[in-house]
C-alpha cells in the first residue's frame, strides 16, 4: 500500500524501518471510529462548502460500504498498511476515485488519531464500567447472603475484632464503586474533540469544529490546537484508574487465595474457577486469583510506560505518541479479562461459615468488648485494657478462651465482674452490637448494600 506522505521523500524507505514505523497491528481495532470520524468530516466539509454535496455523498456511501464489507468479512484490514488512517483513506480512494482524495482536506492524521483514540476509549470505558457493575452487584448479593457470617477481622493479618464475611465483601464493593466513578470522570474529561486542530496549527479553511464534534457525540472541542493534538492526559488518567482497579482486584485475589487455603478454609472456590495440579491429585489451585494478582504488574507497567513516553515531549505531535495505544489498549484488555473471571469467581464460591466462626472463637477478638464492658462498670479504659490483657495472658497459659475462663478467675482480678460479662463477650453479641454507621452488624451491612445498589441502579 503506498504511503500517504510521499511529498518530499523520494527515495524508498528501508523495509525494516517501514515495519518499525507501522502501527496497523495496534490501531486496526479503531477502524470503526476512523470510519465514523471520516463520515462526520465529509459531512462537515460539505456543510461548509469546502467539498461538494455530491462528493460528500459519494464518500459517505463508500465508507458505509467499506464498513459493511469489513463486518461481512468481504474486506480485511491490510496488515501492510502503515496505519488504520492510511488503510481507510486508500481503500476509499481505490473504490470511489477522485472524491476520496478530497476527504483529507482540513484534517491531519495528528488530529485524526487523537479523535479515533478518544472515541475508541469511550467505548472501552463503557464495557469496563459494565464489567465493574457486574462485580459490584455480585459482591452485594454475596454480602447479603453472608451478612451474619461472623469471622475475624484482621489487622497486621492478626485476628483483631469480629466482622462478617458480608461486611468484608462490601469493603470491596465500595472500592469498585470508586473505580467506576474514576473511570466515568476520566471519560468525561476525555470527551473533548480534537478534530479540526489539524496537524498542529488549525487551518485556513472555514471549518465547523463544533458541528463535527456534535456529530461524533463529543461534549465540546479542544480550545487550543497545539494542545488538541498533543494531549494524551486521558490515556494516563484512564491507565491510573485502571491501575487502581487492579490494586483492588489484587487485594481481593490475595484474600481469596488465603481464604481458600487449608490454613483458613473460609471459602471453597468453584471448580469452574480453579485448576488442579498435574502431579498432586489433592490440589485445587486458585489460578484465576493468582493470575489477576500477577497481571496487576502489567497494568502498572502500562501506566508507568505512558507517563515515561510523554515526559519531556515538546509540542506538538511526535511519533513517540504512537506508543500510547499499545499501552492503554493492553491496560483495558487486561482489566476486562480479570473482571470477566473475577465476578463469577466471587459469585460461585462457597462460604464455609463454620470455619469462619471457629477462627472467630479462637483469637480473643472479643477482648476489646471485655474492656468496654469494664468501662461500662466505671473503670477507666486504660486500666480496663491492661486488666483484659492480663486475663488474655492467663487464658493463653491455660489454653482456654475468654468465654471458658471461670468467673472466679475474673473476680480474682476485679470484683466488678459478674455473670453478665459472658453475655457481653459472646461473639454474636459482640457483632450485633457493632451497629455504628459503616460497622459490621448485619443491619449496618444491609444499609451498605442498599447504598451501593442505589448508586449504580
- Which residues bind to ligand ARG, rule: CB under 6 A? 23, 27, 83, 109-110, 113, 317, 321-322
Instruction: Tell me phi and psi for residue 3, to 5 degrees.
Output: -75, 160
The span from the first CA to the last CA of the chain, in angstroms, equals 49
Q: Do the Cβ atoms of 379 and 344 come closer than 8 Å?
A: no
Burial of 16 from C-beta contacts in 10 A (0-12 / 13-18 / 19+):
exposed
Is the Cβ of residue 5 or residue 381 nearer to ligand ARG in the bound state?
5
Residue of 277, 278, 420, 444 marked catalytic: 277
Q: Do the Cβ atoms of 126 and 331 come closer than 8 Å?
A: no
Q: Closest separation between CB of residue 53 and ligand ARG, Å?
A: 29
| Residues in a beta bridge with 192 | 220
Largest CA distance in the chain: 101
Is the Cβ of residue 43 or residue 109 nearer to ligand ARG in the bound state?
109
Three-state DSSP class for residue 192: strand
Helix, strand, coil percentages (3-state) for the chain, rounded to 5, are: 65, 5, 30
Q: How far is CA 79 from CA 24, 36, 112, 158, 330, in A?
A: 6, 21, 20, 56, 20
Cα separation of 225 and 215, whole Å?
Answer: 19
Is the Cβ of residue 308 or residue 420 nearer to ligand ARG in the bound state?
308
Is the Cβ of residue 322 or residue 429 nearer to ligand ARG in the bound state?
322
Q: Closest separation between CB of residue 69 and ligand ARG, Å?
A: 23
User: Which DSSP string do the residues of 47-115 spell out, in sequence order?
Assistant: HTTSS-HHHHHHHHHHHHHHHHHHHHTSS---TTSSSHHHHHHHHHHHHH-HHHHHTTTT--HHHHHHH
Q: Closest separation between CB of residue 82 and ligand ARG, Å?
A: 7
380: its cell numbers? 477507666
Q: Closest separation between CB of residue 445 and ligand ARG, Å?
A: 48
Residue of 49, 156, 278, 436 marked catalytic: 156
Q: Is 270 a catalytic residue?
A: no
Q: Closest separation between CB of residue 107 and ligand ARG, Å?
A: 12
Three-state DSSP class for residue 153: strand
Strands (E), 165-312: 192-193, 220-221, 267-268
Is the Cβ of residue 236 or residue 391 nearer to ligand ARG in the bound state?
236
Is the Cβ of residue 34 or residue 372 nearer to ligand ARG in the bound state?
34
> Residue 238's closest CA among 293, 190, 195, 193?
190
Q: Closest separation between CB of residue 67 and ligand ARG, Å?
A: 20
Is the Cβ of residue 111 or residue 369 nearer to ligand ARG in the bound state?
111
Is the Cβ of residue 226 or residue 432 nearer to ligand ARG in the bound state?
226
Q: Closest separation between CB of residue 342 and ligand ARG, Å?
A: 32
User: Which DSSP string do the residues of 117-152 spell out, in sequence order?
Assistant: HHHHHHHHHHHHHHHHHHHHHHHHHHHHHTTT-EEE
Three-state DSSP class for residue 157: coil
Q: Is 156 a catalytic residue?
A: yes
297: its cell numbers? 504488574
Q: Closest separation between CB of residue 317 and ligand ARG, Å?
A: 6
Q: Do the Cβ atoms of 121 and 234 come closer than 8 Å?
A: yes
Q: How far is CA 325 from CA 60, 282, 319, 388, 415, in A?
A: 27, 44, 12, 59, 72
Q: Which residues are catalytic?
A: 156, 277
Amino acid at each position: 500500500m503506498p504511503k500517504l506522505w510521499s511529498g518530499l521523500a523520494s527515495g524508498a524507505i528501508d523495509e525494516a524501518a517501514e515495519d518499525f514505523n507501522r502501527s496497523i497491528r495496534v490501531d486496526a481495532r479503531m477502524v470503526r471510529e476512523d470510519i465514523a470520524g471520516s463520515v462526520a468530516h465529509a459531512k462537515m466539509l460539505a456543510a461548509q462548502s469546502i467539498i461538494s454535496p455530491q462528493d460528500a455523498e459519494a464518500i459517505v456511501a463508500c465508507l458505509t460500504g467499506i464498513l459493511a464489507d469489513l463486518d461481512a468479512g468481504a474486506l480485511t484490514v491490510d496488515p501492510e498498511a502503515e496505519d488504520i488512517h492510511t488503510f481507510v483513506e486508500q481503500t476509499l480512494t481505490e473504490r470511489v476515485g477522485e472524491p476520496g482524495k478530497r476527504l483529507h482536506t482540513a484534517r491531519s492524521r495528528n488530529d485524526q488519531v487523537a479523535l479515533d483514540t478518544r472515541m475508541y476509549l469511550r467505548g472501552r470505558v463503557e464495557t469496563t464500567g459494565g464489567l465493574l457493575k457486574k462485580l459490584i452487584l455480585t459482591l452485594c448479593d454475596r454480602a447479603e447472603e453472608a451478612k451474619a457470617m461472623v469471622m475475624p477481622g484482621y489487622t497486621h493479618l492478626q485476628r483483631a475484632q469480629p466482622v462478617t464475611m458480608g461486611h468484608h465483601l462490601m469493603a470491596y464493593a465500595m472500592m469498585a464503586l470508586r473505580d467506576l466513578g474514576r473511570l466515568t470522570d476520566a471519560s468525561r474529561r476525555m470527551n473533548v474533540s480534537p478534530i479540526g486542530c489539524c496537524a498542529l496549527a488549525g487551518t485556513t479553511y472555514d471549518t465547523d469544529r463544533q458541528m463535527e464534534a456534535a456529530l461524533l457525540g463529543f461534549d465540546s472541542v479542544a480550545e487550543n490546537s497545539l494542545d488538541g493534538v498533543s494531549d494524551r492526559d486521558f490515556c494516563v488518567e484512564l491507565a491510573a484508574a485502571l491501575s487502581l482497579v487492579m490494586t483492588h482486584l489484587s487485594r481481593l485475589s490475595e484474600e481469596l487465595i488465603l481464604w481458600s487455603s487449608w490454613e483458613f478454609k473460609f471459602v471453597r472456590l468453584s471448580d469452574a474457577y480453579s485448576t488442579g495440579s498435574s502431579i498432586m491429585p489433592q490440589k485445587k489451585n486458585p489460578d484465576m486469583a493468582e493470575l489477576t494478582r500477577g497481571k496487576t504488574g502489567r497494568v502498572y507497567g502500562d501506566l508507568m510506560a505512558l507517563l515515561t513516553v510523554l515526559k519531556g515531549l515538546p509540542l506538538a505531535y511526535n511519533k513517540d505518541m504512537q506508543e500510547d495505544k499499545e499501552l492503554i489498549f493492553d491496560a483495558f484488555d487486561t482489566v476486562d479479562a480479570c473482571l470477566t473471571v473475577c465476578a463469577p469467581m466471587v459469585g460461585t464460591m462457597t462460604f464455609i461459615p463454620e470455619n469462619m466462626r471457629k477462627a472467630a472463637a479462637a483469637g480473643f477478638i472479643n477482648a476489646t468488648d471485655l474492656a468496654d464492658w469494664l468501662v461500662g462498670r466505671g473503670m477507666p479504659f486504660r486500666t480496663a485494657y491492661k486488666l483484659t490483657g492480663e486475663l488474655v495472658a492467663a487464658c493463653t497459659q491455660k489454653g482456654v478462651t475468654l468465654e471458658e475462663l471461670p468467673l472466679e478467675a475474673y473476680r480474682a482480678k476485679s470484683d466488678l465482674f459478674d455473670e453478665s460479662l459472658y453475655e457481653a463477650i459472646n461473639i454474636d453479641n459482640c457483632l450485633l452490637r457493632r451497629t455504628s454507621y459503616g460497622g459490621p452488624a448485619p443491619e449496618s451491612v444491609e444499609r451498605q448494600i442498599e447504598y451501593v445498589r442505589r448508586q449504580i441502579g
